Amino acid sequence: MTIKLYQYQTCPFCTKTRCFLLAHGIPFENIEVHPIFKKEMKFSKYKKVPLVTVEKNGEVLELRDSSLIISILSSYIINEGMNITELLKRYPTTTVVGEDGKSKQETLNKHWLISDEADLATVENDARKEEAEWRFWADDYLVHLISPNVYRTYREAYQAFDYHVKQGRFNGTWEGVVAKYLGSIAMWGIAKRLKTKYKLDENVRLDLYKACNKWTEAIGKGRTFMGGSKPNLADVSVFGVLSVMENLDSFHDVLTHTNIKKWYYKTKQAIEDHGGQTLNLRTTT
């Protein structure tokens, strides 16, 4: 099986997917997509990232939506190679109407794993239920705090794009210059709109601090990770979302004003141990 991950360096959904692959030691090719031109994805009708392609026996499948990608590949591992096409059928999409009144396709069970084993399939299993609920929280709430914080001011937006471009394959190219300047301006403006859309505090750092502390309080003093002695999918998802801020002002502020530092670096080390390499924003395999 050949797996390729098409991703942006600055996308928390992409880092979440990449961290999952590394945490499980799954070999994959990491393909950085230019955030404006997207020529790397010209083969697909789907133009959003992350996109994972799985090639086996000459057949290529496209997996979309970071949480669905994680659930499908986790279910594939659990079921010892169950056909991925069959797994996809067990994650049906349905039409839902959002708060804005617009209809969209959604996979309602995308945070759950598929298994014929009762202890994994039943909603009464407390560990699996907790894992699914916090994975949903990471997608439904935490991720929406990232852009307003990373791109809070134009200076921070430029800092983020400058750092990420330098770590990626577009460094020193005209594509990198375009991404850095146009991207930072665009995301600075988008961050302002997102702050209003999600009704965040005028000081968006406060919402981020509260979210990080809520996470560590939920883990409690009796566990190292949400998964107990080792990270589960909720740990990997929350870490993946937060890791996009690493080495930026927003990240330093979070480490200073919350209790998340110990958990963060223990999770990072656990992922590195399984992935067999140092984890950073330019990780490729």
Tokens 């801020």 correspond to 245
Q: What is the spatial distance between Cα 21 and Cα 107, in angstroms, rounded to a whole number?
A: 21
String of b and e for 114-125 (b: at least 16 CB within 10 Å)? bbeeeebeeeee
Q: What is the spatial distance between Cα 51 and Cα 64, in angstroms, rounded to a whole number?
A: 5
Structure-token pair, residue 71: 């659930």
Handedness of CA 43, 47, 49, 53 (dihedral sign): negative
Which residues are the active-site residues? 8, 11, 13-14
Structure-token pair, residue 114: 């598929």
Residue in 94, 54, 86, 68 with CA at minimum distance from that of residue 13: 68
Beta bridge partners of 54: 3, 61
Q: What is each CA distance from 254 to 195, 240, 249, 281, in whole angstroms?
A: 18, 15, 9, 18
Beta strands at 29-32 and 59-64: parallel, antiparallel or unpaired: unpaired
